[in-house]
Amino acid sequence: MKHIICFHLLNDFSGSPMVLKRVLEGILKRGYKVDLISSQGGVLEDISSYPNMKIHHYNYHFSQNKLLTGLRYVAVQIYTFFFAFRYIFTKNTFYVNTLLPIGPALAGRLMGKKVVYHYHENAFVKSTAYRMLARAMKMLASKIICVSEYQRTMLKMEKNVLVIPNALDERFLQRVHPDADRTYGYKTILMLATLKLYKGTKEFITLAEMLPEYQFRLVLNNSADEIKHFIINEKLKITENLTLMSRVEDVAPLYNKASIVLNLSHKNLFVETFGLTALEAMSTGLPVIVPTVGGIAEMVEDGWNGYKIDVQNLDKIAEHIDLMLNDRNLYKRLSANALGCSKRFDEKTMVETVIKLL
């Protein structure tokens, strides 16, 4: 029986563990044995019931204190480095999800294991620490999975790199209900993000103030207390047409009640390597507005299934929201094309390709 040892740092409800869950579930259904080493409490707990799945937990979470978060991160890397050596005498592949688990990746190479990285970030537009982790990945990885051509290009490697775009869970697709006439009538703009300023949260709140005739819903992968603290610290004005929501496990109902989905990431501060929320939106038949660069921009053609507009140009974004929600024929055409584009990202193909590589 093939044995996969998987390392993922933070088990929450964000994009990378969601993708990992789908890959691991595909592996488990094919009878392979999986050991997962990760933190507690996120989406990966959903697959713990498989008899061929074993999860090893440790305590890890983010903090407002960057020094404390850094110390926790280093402690986990030391722990997982030594933990990895329990597999020294067994035949298996080390599957490292995201750049962050460098400790077990190093241990795996020292033991002569095949180390496959699933690279979700774009380290070269982030911090120095991320760039160092990316350089380490290039030395330690036997193979690297990129999620977009943009990401692969930034990595600047010709060998041992494969592009495998993310895909959506079939169960998610069964719960979304594309209907352009219905969603056009909602006049609701949705964004799913975090409280990181480079994600465009403040700009989304500004858009709600600029367009009081529409409903805006901002869903943040943060707790209610963190959101309240952010609003007070940033002195933000929350208008009556804006709803703020803390993290949710099931996002399908949010898409079913939306008309347009935005991604307002600042391209000078952060570049989306893929854009899972844009794909989720398009699979619900929702037009999207996304940044002009990155893997997410590869998914959108201006005027076909949405628009590519920089977050710095809020007036233009507001203009295009207004345009789509006041022209039913345009909206229905964008909706149909968005739904068609989403069909290219097939879960079965993604999982089979990753399994072959492992």
Return the CATH number at 260. Answer: 3.40.50.2000
> Does residue 15 surpass a pLDDT of 90?
no
From 147, 163, 179, give the residue that closes a domain.
163
Per-residue confidence at 156, pLDDT binned at 50, 70, 90?
confident
Q: Would you say residue 347 lies in a domain? A: no
Per-residue confidence at 1, pLDDT binned at 50, 70, 90?
low
Residues 133, 206, single domain; the answer is no
- As a whole number, mean pLDDT of residues 143-147 equals 96
Contact between residue 207 and residue 235 where contact means Cβ atoms under 8 Å apart: no
What does the pLDDT read at residue 321?
Answer: 98
Range of the domain at 322: 171-342
Both structure tokens of 343: 């069909």
> Does residue 279 surpass a pLDDT of 90?
yes
Residues 27, 155, single domain; the answer is yes
> Does residue 63 surpass a pLDDT of 90?
no
Residues 330, 199, single domain; the answer is yes
State how beta strands 242-245 and 215-220 pair: parallel
Q: Would you say residue 355 lies in a domain? A: no
Contact between residue 8 and residue 17 where contact means Cβ atoms under 8 Å apart: yes
Q: How many domains does the chain have?
A: 2
> Does residue 332 surpass a pLDDT of 70?
yes
Residues 144, 196, single domain; the answer is no
- As a whole number, mean pLDDT of residues 11-32 equals 92
Residues 136, 276, single domain; the answer is no
Per-residue confidence at 13, pLDDT binned at 50, 70, 90?
confident
> What percentage of the chain's residues is helix, strand, coil (to nearest 5)?
45, 20, 35
pTM of the predicted structure, to 2 decimals: 0.81
Q: What is the mean pLDDT of the chain?
A: 94
> Does residue 301 surpass a pLDDT of 90?
yes
From 163, 195, 221, give the residue that closes a domain.
163
CA distance 33 to 339: 35
Q: Would you say residue 132 lies in a domain? A: yes
CA distance 157 to 140: 13
Residues 183, 59, single domain; the answer is no
Residues 141, 212, single domain; the answer is no
> Does residue 170 surpass a pLDDT of 90?
no
Q: Which of 257, 237, 238, 259 is nearest to 248 (CA)?
A: 257
For residue range 96-125, list pLDDT tens digits in order.
999 999 999 999 999 999 999 999 988 887
Both structure tokens of 38: 């990760």
What does the pLDDT read at residue 125?
Answer: 76
Which element (helix H / strand E) includes 150? helix 149-155
Q: Would you say residue 324 lies in a domain? A: yes
> Does residue 288 surpass a pLDDT of 80?
yes
Residues 105, 188, single domain; the answer is no
Residues 33, 148, single domain; the answer is yes
Residues 151, 182, single domain; the answer is no
From 163, 180, 198, give the residue that closes a domain.
163
Q: Would you say residue 212 lies in a domain? A: yes
Proportion of the chain above pLDDT 90, given as a percent: 84
Q: Would you say residue 348 lies in a domain? A: no
Residues 245, 285, single domain; the answer is yes
Q: Would you say residue 351 lies in a domain? A: no
CA distance 33 to 271: 35
Q: Would you say residue 356 lies in a domain? A: no
State how beta strands 33-39 and 143-146 pair: unpaired
Residues 217, 241, single domain; the answer is yes
Greater confidence (1 vs 72) lies with 72
